[in-house]
Chain A
Amino acid sequence: MKRIFQHPTAPVTGKKYWRSLGQLQDTPEFRGWLEREFPQGASELKGGDVTRRNFLKLMGASTALAGLGLSACRRPEKHLVPFTRGVEWSIPGKALFFTTARPTRNGYAPLVATTYDGRPIKIEGNPLHPASKGATDTFSQASVLDLYDPDRAKVIRNGKPADSAIFEKALDEILKNVGDGSGLAFLMESDNSPTRERLRGEIEKKFPNLTWAVYEPLAGESLEAIYGAGVTAVPALEKADVILALDSDFLGNGGDVATTRAFTSRRKVTGPDSKMNRLYAVENRYTVTGGIADHRLRVGASQIGAFALALANEIGAATGSAELSNAAKAIPAPAVKFNAEWVKYCAEDLVAAKGKSLVLAGPRQPIAVQALVAAINAALGNLGQTVVGLAATEKAAATIADLARAITDKKIKALFIVGGNPVYNAPADLNWAELQKSVETVVRFGTHEDETSAFATWNVPLAHYLESWGDGRAADGSYVSMQPMILPLFGAWSDLDLLAKIAGLPKPQGPELVQETFKQLAKPTDFSAGWAKFLHDGFLAESAAKSAPLTFNAAATAKFVTESLSLSTPDDKTFEVVFTACAKVDDGRYSNNGWLQEIPDPITKVTWDNTAQISPATAKSLKVGDGDLIEIELQNRKMEIPVIIAPGHADGSISVQLGYGRSVVGRVGNGTGFNAYPLRTTAQPYFAVGAKVRVTGKEYKLALTQEHGTLEGRGGDITRVGTVEEYKADPDFAKTMGMDAHIPPNVSLYTNPPLDDQHQWGMVVDLNVCTGCSACMVACQAENNIPIVGKEQVANGREMHWIRTDRYFASVDENDPDPELVSQPMMCQHCENAPCETVCPVNATVHSEDGLNVMAYNRCIGTRYCANNCPFKVRRFNFFDYNQRKIEDGGLYKWNLIAPKGTEDTIKLSKNPNVTVRMRGVMEKCTFCVQRIQEAKIAAKVAGRDSANTRIPADAFTSACAQVCPSEAITFGDIKNPESSVSKLRESERGYRLFEYLDVKSRVTYLARIRNPNPKMPGAEKVGAAMKSHHGHGPDHDAKAGAHH
C-alpha cells in the first residue's frame, strides 16, 4: 500500500507563508517530491511499493538474516508470528511472558518464561499456580541455560548424519520388524503427561505387547501396597506441629517448591507469640533439612530402620497401638543403641501432638522402613491429617530391571530410549551397556550425545521443554500446559513427536496433540477460549487431583516390616556408603550446565566435583584431610573419590553424590567429579554397608567457594539466633547481641547527600526460613548475565556470584561432633554510608537517590579498592575476560593477543538484554536488580500518565532472588512505602543489620533465626548457644564458638 502524503492545505485567511518556491508554485514535481519521505535514494529501491513501513520491514528482515546464528532463532512459523512481521503486541526490547511447565520426576513445575524477541532468557514460577506462587527451584532456574547449551545434540545420526526424512523412513522399517509389539520396548523418563499417556494408549493399540519401562535413577519405592492402589501419600507439612524426618531431605532434593513452602509457612515468625512447628531430623549427613531442624541426630543411613524400630516401640507403648507394637516386637531388637532420651522425648513430643505430628521417611529408605513409618503415622493418627492421599498421576510401567530381563531373553528387537542416560546411570548389576549393545536397533532420543548415544543405532536430538508443546500434571495433580518459546534450535524432536509418529499419526507441527488431550480432559464448551485460557494461565482451573482416601493396609505393612527390615550392625572395619542426589547436577543430567556446576553444594560448598563426605572422627581414624583421594570398595567394585570432612556427619559412614564422573559429556561437564554409579545396585540403590576404604595417598584439588566454615565467635554479630523461650523472654534479643550490645551510637562528622527519591530500596532476609538451598544464586546468575569462571578459577577464589549463601558450622565446644548449621544469604548490602564509594578513585561506584549503591562499569578501571574496603566481601572482579575466553583447557591463560576470542552464538542468545555483559577488569556486584527497578519505574510513569503520581505500587515487582525463593526468606521492595512488605518486615524486633558499629547503614536487614527446641531433649541447652558470641549477653559470655572445618 502506498501512502500518499496530503500536504495540509494552508489556511486561507491571513498571510500565506511558504517554505520553498516549489511549495508556493505547487508544481507536480514538488508534489511528487513530497510523496517520498526520503527524497534521496528512496526511489532507487526496486518496486514502486516503497513506503517507510516497508522499508523498515526490509531493513529489519535483512538485519535478522545477517545476524550470525540469529537465523536459527525463530518462532514456529505456523502458529506463532515471526518477528520480521512486527506484530502488535510485540515491542522490541520489551519482555513477553508465557506460561509453560518443566517436566521433573515429581511432576511438572509450573513456570513462566520471560522472552525477549523470541528468546527465553529467564524462568520464574507461575504465580497463579498454587504449587509455585511464583517460586522455583535451582534446576528450573538453570534449565534455560540447557536450552542454549552449544554441546547439545544437533543432528540426527545413524553412524553418519541424516535428516528427518531418512529417519522417518527408517522408523517405518523398524516398526515393521516388531510384530505385535513383543519386540518393541520403550525406556522413558518418569513423566505424567496426559498426552504422553494418550499416545502410549494409541501405540499399545497398534502394538499390544510392547514393553513400556520407566527408569529414574533417583526415584523411591512405590507405596501402593501400603496405601492402596492408585493413591499417592503426600505429607501435609503445613498442618504438622511436630515433624520427624528420617533420612528425608524434604527441603532439599527430596522435595519441591511446594513442600518447602508448606514447611516454612509454619516457621514464619511475626512475634514472640507466633506458633512454630518443631522439626527433628535423623540423618547421616547434614542436609538443608537437617540444617534447619531444631534437633538433629547423626545416624548412619543403614541405621535408620533400627531407629524407626526404637521409635515404634516407644510410640507403640505410648499410644497403645497393638498393630505397631506387634510389628515392632516381631523383629529382634537391633544391636545398635541410640541415645535413649533422644528417642524417648522425641516420641513423647510426637505422641503429644497426635494427629498433628508427622514422621517422614525419605524415599531413599527401603520399603520396610517406609512401612514402619506408615505404621507409626497410623498409630499417631496422622493418616488423613498430616499424611493425605492424592490420586496418582502416572500410570504403572515396567522397571528397568524388567526391561533388562526382556532384553536378556532376546525378546526385544527395537528399543527406544527417550531421555535418560541408562549406560551411565543404570544399576551396576544390570550391566546395561552390554544389554543395550545386544539389541538389534536402539533408537535414542537425547538432548546430548552421551554415554548412551554411543551404543545406539539412531541418535535423534531431543527437544528442550522450552522448544516443545506438551502438557503434564503438577505436584498437586493439576493439569498444566507446556508451550514452546522458540522453534527447536537444532531441529530436535520432542518425545511426543516420536510417540505420535510411532502411533501412526503425522509428526505434529504444533499443539494439535495437546489440544486433543485438552479437549478430552477439560471438555471445554468454547474450545478456543478454553485453550487460550489454559495457555495463558498455564494450568486448567480446578484440575488438581482429587484427594483419595488412604486405605492403610496394616497387614501388608507388618509383612514388609517383619520380612524385609534389615538391621545391619555397624563394625569398625567397614563403612557404610550412602549415595545421595546432587543438589547441583541431580542424577547427572545437568552435568553440562555451567551455572549448576559452579554453584556450591549447599552443605560442603564444593563446586565442579562430588566428594566423599566423612565425619571429622572418621577422617582422623583414616588419617585423611580435604582433597585426599580414597578408594571405596564395595563388593569388588571400586571407585576413587576425594574426601571432604563434613562436620555433623555420622561416623563410619561415607556420603557420595551421584551424577559426576561422566565419560561422554560436553565441555562443561568434562572431567568433573567421580562416578559413583558403578557401586550402585538394584538391591541397594541408596546405601550399602560393608564397604572397604583404602587411602590412596593421592591428592585432588577441590574448588570450594568457602574455605572457612566456622563463625570464630562472631555468631552474635553475624548470624543471630535465639530460642523460642529466649525470644519470649526478650523480644528484642537480636538487637542486643554482639558488638551492638556494647558500642555507643555512632556519631558522624560527615553528612552524606540526602537520599530523597520517592522510592528507597531495601531488603529483608529472614534467617528463620532460609534453608540455604541456593536457588537464589542461580536465579541471580540467570537474571544478571553472571559468567561462570570454571573450576580452576573457583579454586583461585574468583567465582562471580553476586549473591552467595554463607554456611557456618557452630558449636560451643569446638570438638562437639554435633555442630549447628546456619545458612546466610549474602549480597551487596547497599550501605547508605558505603565504604566502597569513598575509596573508588574514579567515581565508578556511587549512590543513587533511591538508595542504591550503583556501579558504572564503563567508568570502572578495576583498582579493586572497593572490594578491599567492603566488609561483606560481596564485590566480584572480572579477573579475566570470562565472556570472551574459553574457561576450560586453560583458555584464560593463553596469551590473549594470539588466542581466539568470542562466545558461542547460542550463549549470546541466552543473555538478558537489559543487563550489561561485563568485560574483564571491571568490578561488579548485586544491583538489587536495577533493571527491574527501572522497568517498574517506567511502568509507573506510563500508568501515571500526566499526573504527578509516578510511585511504584507496593510489592509491584521484586528482585530475582526474592522472586525465586520458595520459603520467601528474601523480601525486596520500597522501604519508604509503609504498605510494602519489606518496610513492615524491617520493623520486626528480630531485625538487625550487620556491623552497625562501622556505621555503614546497610539497606539489608537480617531477621534473627528462632529455634524451637524441646527443652526435655538431650542437647536442648546447646541449641543456638554457639551464636551468642563472647560479646553477647548470653550465659557463655566468653565461650569461643567451635572451630570446625
Chain B
Amino acid sequence: MAESTVTLETPAELERPPLVDNKRSLGWITDKVSVIVEAPTPIWWWVAFVPCVIIALIGLFCIGYQISNGVGVWGENKTVGWAWDITNFVFWIGIGHAGTLISAILFLTRQKWRTSINRAAEAMTIFAVICAGIFPGIHVGRVWMAWFLAPVPNANGIWPNFRSPLLWDVFAVSTYFTVSLLFWYTGLVPDLAMLRDRAKSRVKKFIYGIFALGWRGSNRQWRHYEMAYLLLAGLSTPLVLSVHSVVSFDFATSILPGWHTTIFPPYFVAGAIFGGFAMVLTILLPSRLLYPQLGDLMTRSHVDKMAKIILLTGSIVGYAYLMELFIAWYGANQYEKFTFFSARMGIDNPGWYAWAYYVMMFCNVISPQLFWIKSMRTNYIAVFIVCMFVNVGMWFERFVIIVTSLAQDFLPSSWRHYSPSTTEIWTFIGTFGIFLSLFLLFMRFLPMVCAFEVKAITPEADPHQTKHDSHVGVGTHQP
C-alpha cells in the first residue's frame, strides 16, 4: 500500500460526462433559456395548445354533466364502486412524484444533474397533482358537500373520521400540493428576476417584477434563498415518500383481497417514481426536440440516468408483483388466491380483466428491462417508447388493483363486470388536455430550465477550478 501512487487523474472510463455539453458559457445559458419565453410564440405552440384546450374543455363539460346528473353517468355499479375515477387519481398522483423527488431528494443527495430538469419536472408535478385532485373531488356523490372532509368546527359537532384513509389522503395530497407549489415557486424567484431584467415591454417587466418579489441577487438574499430552499427540500423529501404511502393506505387498510396488502406503501412509492420519471421523459424528450438548444443542457447522460432509475424502480415494482403472487399462494387464503390467480391472471375464470393484468406486467416489468443495455438508455426513440409503455402500464396497474379486486370479491353473487362510460373516458382524456395545456403555458411564460442552478454546475462556476468538484457547500450560485 505504501508504494502505491495515487493518481489524481480519473481513468477515462470512470470519467463523468460533463453536465453541460459543448462547454457553454454562462451567458449562453441565460440567453438560450430566456429566449424560449422571449421569442414570438411559435406556430407549433398554437397547433399544440388549441387542441389541448379543446380537449380540456370537453373534459370539463363531462365533469359538469356528471356533477349535474350524478355519478351514474359513469360506469360504476353496486360492486365496483371505484373504477376510472380513483385509477386516474392514483395515476396522476403517481406522476406527480418525480418532480419533487428530482428537486428535493436529488438536491439533498447532491445529484447535480438534476438542475437542468428539475424546473420542468416540478411544474409537471404540480400540474399532475391538479389533475389528480380533480378526481377525488368529483367522484363523490354530492360534490357540494365535499367540505365535510375539512375539519371545520361546525354547529353539529361532527368531525371528519380521522380513522379513514380517505381523510388522510385529503391531508396528504393537499399538503403535498402546497409544499410542492412553494418549493417550485421559491426556486423560480431568481429566474423570474432574470426575465424581469431582460424584459423589454413594461407589462412584462411589471408582471415578472411582481412575481420576482424584488429579487436583486444580493448576498443576503442568496443566503436566505439557500436556506429556504434547503428547508423546503428537507420538508418535501418525506412528503415524496408519505403521499403515495398514504394513497396506498386507501387500499392497504381495507379488507378487500387484492387491496389488503402490507407491501403496498413501498410498492406504491416505487411505482410512483417509476411512472413519474417516465412521464418526465415523455414530456422532456419532445421539448428537447422543439428547443434544440436545450440539448446541451439536457444531455444524453441525463436520459441515461433517468432510464437507470426507471429500470431500478420498474424492477422493484416487478418484485412487488411477484411477491403479491407468492404471498397469495403462501397465505393459503382462498379469497386472496382467487383475486390474484383467477381474477387477475385469469386462471379458471372468465378472465374479464386478465388482459389488463398482462398489459400491466408487460409494460411495467418487461419493457424497462431494455434499459440494462446502455445503447438503449441513450437512444432517445427507444427511451421514449419504453416511457410510453410505462405510462400505459402504470395506469393499468391502478386499474388492475382497483377494478379486478372489486369486481370479484367475497360473495360470488355480487360479482359484477365493469366497463367505463363515454363520459368517464372523456373525463380522463380531458385531464390530459388540462395537463398539457398547463404545461404548454408553463413553457411559454416561465423559464423551463433552472438557469441559475445550471450555471452553478458549469466548470466556470467552480471557484477552485478543479476538474472534479470536491466542494461540499451548497454551491448553486456564483455571481
Contacts and interface: CB of A to CB of B under 8 A. Distances in A.
Interface of A: 706-714, 718, 739, 793, 796-799, 804, 806-808, 824, 826, 835, 837-843, 859-865, 867-869, 871-873, 875-881, 892-893, 895-897, 919-923, 995, 997-998, 1000, 1029-1031
B164 A840 contact: yes
Interface stretch (B5-13, B47-55, B143-151, B287-295): B143-151
Given A797-B79, A863-B140, A921-B142, A808 B412 contact: yes
B160 interface: yes
A920 B70 contact: yes
Given A799-B78, A860-B142, A865-B81, A710 B148 contact: no
Contact of A1030 (B77, B250, B334): B334
A96 B187 CA distance: 73
Interface stretch (B202-210, B305-313, B388-396, B413-421): B413-421
A864 B82 contact: yes
Interface in B94-151: 139-142, 145-146, 148-149
Of A798, A876, A881, chain B has the most CB atoms within 10 Å of the CB of A798
Contacts of B81: 864-865, 867-868, 877
Given A707-B416, A877-B78, A921-B140, A826 B411 contact: yes
A728 B149 CA distance: 55
B334 A798 contact: no
A862 B411 contact: no
A528 to B, nearest CB: 54
Of B82, B145, B166, B417, chain A has the most CB atoms within 10 Å of the CB of B145
Contacts of A711: 412
Contacts of A835: 254-255
Contact of B338 (A712, A865, A893): A712
Contacts of A709: 412
A-B residue pairs, 4 tightest by C-beta: A862-B141, A921-B141, A797-B77, A879-B72
B324 interface: no
A881 B413 contact: no
Contacts, number: 178
A714 B339 CA distance: 13
Given A826-B413, A838-B161, A841-B160, 20 more contacts: A706-B413, A708-B415, A712-B338, A797-B416, A806-B413, A839-B163, A840-B166, A843-B160, A859-B158, A860-B142, A864-B81, A869-B254, A871-B256, A873-B79, A873-B414, A879-B70, A879-B72, A921-B141, A998-B255, A1030-B334
B185 interface: no
Given A712-B412, A873-B411, A798 B256 contact: no
7 contacts: A841-B161, A864-B71, A864-B141, A868-B256, A880-B70, A922-B141, A997-B333
B69 interface: yes
A868 B254 contact: yes
Interface residues of B, number: 52
B68 interface: yes
B278 interface: no
Contacts of A872: 410-411, 414
A516 B124 CA distance: 87
Contact of B70 (A797, A840, A878, A897): A878
A864 B161 contact: no
A1035 to B, nearest CB: 18
Given A840-B164, A841-B149, A864-B82, A869 B255 contact: yes
Contacts of A865: 81-82, 164, 166, 250
Contacts of A921: 70-71, 140-142
Contact of A873 (B69, B76, B165, B409): B409
Contacts of A922: 141-142
Contact of B167 (A706, A841, A1031): A841
B141 A995 contact: no
A66 to B, nearest CB: 30
Contacts of B28: none
A877 B164 contact: no
A777 to B, nearest CB: 14
A807 B414 CA distance: 11
Contact of B412 (A710, A804, A876, A878): A710
Contacts of B72: 793, 796, 798, 879-880, 892, 920
A275 B412 CA distance: 33
B349 to A, nearest CB: 9
Contact of A881 (B70, B73, B167): B70
Interface in B242-267: 250, 253-256
Nearest to A1030: B334
A583 B149 CA distance: 45
A893 B139 contact: no
Contacts of B334: 713-714, 739, 1029-1031
Nearest to A997: B333
Contacts of A712: 338, 412
Contacts of A793: 72
Contacts of A897: 68
Of B65, B71, B141, B411, chain A has the most CB atoms within 10 Å of the CB of B411
Nearest to B169: A841
Nearest to B69: A896
B355 interface: no
Nearest to B406: A868
Contacts of A861: 140-142, 145-146, 148-149
Nearest to A711: B412
A745 B109 CA distance: 48
Nearest to A873: B414
A796 B77 contact: yes
B142 A867 contact: no
Nearest to A881: B70
B111 to A, nearest CB: 38
Nearest to A710: B412
Given A860-B142, A861-B146, A995 B410 contact: yes
Contact of B164 (A841, A880, A923): A841
B247 to A, nearest CB: 13
A838 B163 CA distance: 6
A809 to B, nearest CB: 11
Interface string B82-93: 100000000000
Contacts of A998: 255
Nearest to A998: B255
B45 interface: no
Interface in B401-443: 406, 409-418
Contacts of A868: 81-82, 254, 256, 406
Contacts of B163: 838-839
Contacts of B211: none
A842 B406 contact: no
B254 A895 contact: no
Contacts of B409: 871, 873
A708 B142 contact: no
Of A793, A842, A869, A875, chain B has the most CB atoms within 10 Å of the CB of A842
A806 B69 CA distance: 31
Contacts of A1031: 334
A804 to B, nearest CB: 8
Nearest to A792: B72
Contacts of A708: 412-413, 415
Contacts of B417: 707
A997 B335 CA distance: 11
A820 to B, nearest CB: 15
B280 to A, nearest CB: 31
B379 to A, nearest CB: 43
A556 B71 CA distance: 66
B161 A843 contact: yes
A221 B164 CA distance: 63
B190 interface: no
A842 to B, nearest CB: 4
A869 B414 contact: no
B189 interface: no
B447 interface: no
B326 interface: no
Contacts of B159: 843
